[in-house]
A and B are shown apart, each in its own frame.
Chain A
């Protein structure tokens, strides 16, 4: 049974800024021995988030930029550790966070397919059909023999998309909707995406395309400043969301742009 539960989850980041150097760190230790260094500033990305997603659910996550949507997905994926609370995920996960992430620029397309497949748990004996599927879908042909740094951005996208959607995970985490290549490919990609999403037992998807989310998901989570503002049927949540965004005039323009 695929299952996701979060119970009162807090997520915190250390503040990224100019970092303290090792030299400074050692000097401070020596000069002010005994005194503790002030704690690093932390930013709360998620606060007290709880929900449960059962098998068969298609869940969308909406919210303004910086509301914690991507952080939520990465927490579900086990990449970000929770500061407090409990995360439980049963089932194999495939995550499409940043589609072009994790390529070796000097290795060929083929080699990169191998690395990514191995990373997702393939072995030389299981990889065969997958190689064929990826090569067929991305239509890169002989380009696959070239190192990735020779690819155009669109080509990298195609390859990444083909690889990411070639496995059959139980839980699928998707960040944003991808702009993948030229028009012909985009149609093909969106068909494959739908098929891919239909095969997964649980889909959690972050997006700004409210129409798409309404069509695809039967449940929406609305995140606001790291807190779960609403959790329910898409029509209700979207109505509330739009009402709120329109009520704050300085933000309505950004929301429309998104």
Chain B
């Protein structure tokens, strides 16, 4: 009986190899933060800088007070960055791990796990900063609701892992996948309320479906609602997120089962 992504033996093997992929994640993080004096701080400069610029420009255009807009944008950018990273690093994940795949039969799911865990660590750091910024501008009103982000983060993590898996597998078969995905991500970025708020599209009755049908918006609301407004995410967002993530995870598992054995020929 062969261990496929739908058997428990598969997950036992992943667990058995935990020291291996976990140390690779550590290595990735080391490399990412090392070559700069500021270390982790450096990587936070990008979302912070963007937030400041956006506040100056769009805050004026949309006429939103900075205390409202700055935490909103910062957290939105942070969450979006995790999604982008899952796709972009995920697309390369099997090529990066090719040497190991050619050397030993290992469950392929550990490679997207490696990239997503790296992204998740970074998300954790950046999100903490976002929460601090929210406290600074809006006070500690969200404290009671903060535990509600935990399931949201779990959903986001599964989303990242399944996207990394699917994109990585596609990339090994079609070398232009990454360019197409980058294009799609850019489109999605503008279609998702990140630098503008959903309300601004809702004012246009013909456009409000863009927000409602966008699963990325729903997933982001799982975290934005508790952090920014101190309330549990609306049921609609929870339902859409869960549905979306379930579909993606199942898709990733099916792809893994179908391609796991022959992937070694493609890298």
Contact = CB atoms under 8 A, between A and B. Distances in A.
Nearest to B100: A102
B29 to A, nearest CB: 12
Interface string A93-133: 00101100111101100010011001111111000000000
A81 interface: yes
B103 A95 contact: yes
Contact of A118 (B17, B176, B177, B261): B17
B174 interface: yes
B175 A118 contact: no
B177 A124 contact: no
A25 interface: yes
Contacts of B177: 22
Given A115-B23, A119-B17, A101 B261 contact: no
A179 interface: no
Contacts of B30: 107
Contacts of B105: 77-79
A77 B104 contact: yes
Contact of B23 (A19, A103, A114): A114
Contact of A79 (B27, B31, B99, B264): B264
B19 A118 contact: yes
Given A13-B265, A22-B180, A98-B103, A111 B23 contact: yes
Contacts of A111: 23, 27
B104 A107 contact: no
Given A21-B174, A98-B103, A121 B16 contact: yes
A14 B264 CA distance: 11
Contacts of B101: 79
A80 interface: yes
Contacts of B104: 77, 79, 95, 119-120
Interface in A50-83: 77-81
A22 B102 contact: no
B99 A102 contact: yes
Nearest to B96: A104
A118 to B, nearest CB: 4
A23 interface: yes
A20 interface: yes
A13 B180 CA distance: 27
A81 B262 CA distance: 7
B266 interface: yes
Given A77-B105, A78-B105, A79-B264, A119 B176 contact: no
B9 to A, nearest CB: 14
B119 to A, nearest CB: 18
Contacts of B210: none
Contacts of B17: 118-119, 121
A79 B170 contact: no
**By CB atoms of chain B within 10 A, which of A102, A111, A120, A122 has the most?**
A102
B24 interface: yes
A111 B19 CA distance: 12
B136 interface: no
Nearest to B16: A121
Given A22-B177, A79-B264, A114-B23, A119 B100 contact: yes
Contacts of B174: 19-22, 25
Contacts of B232: none
Interface string A1-36: 000000000000110100111110100000000000
Contacts of B102: 79, 97-98, 101-102
B27 to A, nearest CB: 5
B20 interface: yes
Contacts of B175: 19, 21
Contacts of B23: 111, 114-115, 118
A79 B265 CA distance: 10
Interface string B207-237: 0000000000000000000000000000000
**Top 7 nearest A-B pairs by Cβ distance?**
A22-B174, A81-B261, A118-B20, A102-B99, A118-B19, A78-B105, A21-B176
Given A79-B105, A95-B103, 13 more contacts: A19-B173, A20-B174, A21-B174, A21-B175, A22-B174, A79-B103, A95-B104, A111-B23, A111-B27, A118-B17, A119-B104, A119-B106, A121-B16
5 contacts: A22-B170, A79-B101, A111-B27, A119-B17, A119-B20
Interface of B: 16-17, 19-20, 23-24, 27, 30-31, 99-106, 170, 173-177, 180, 261-262, 264-266
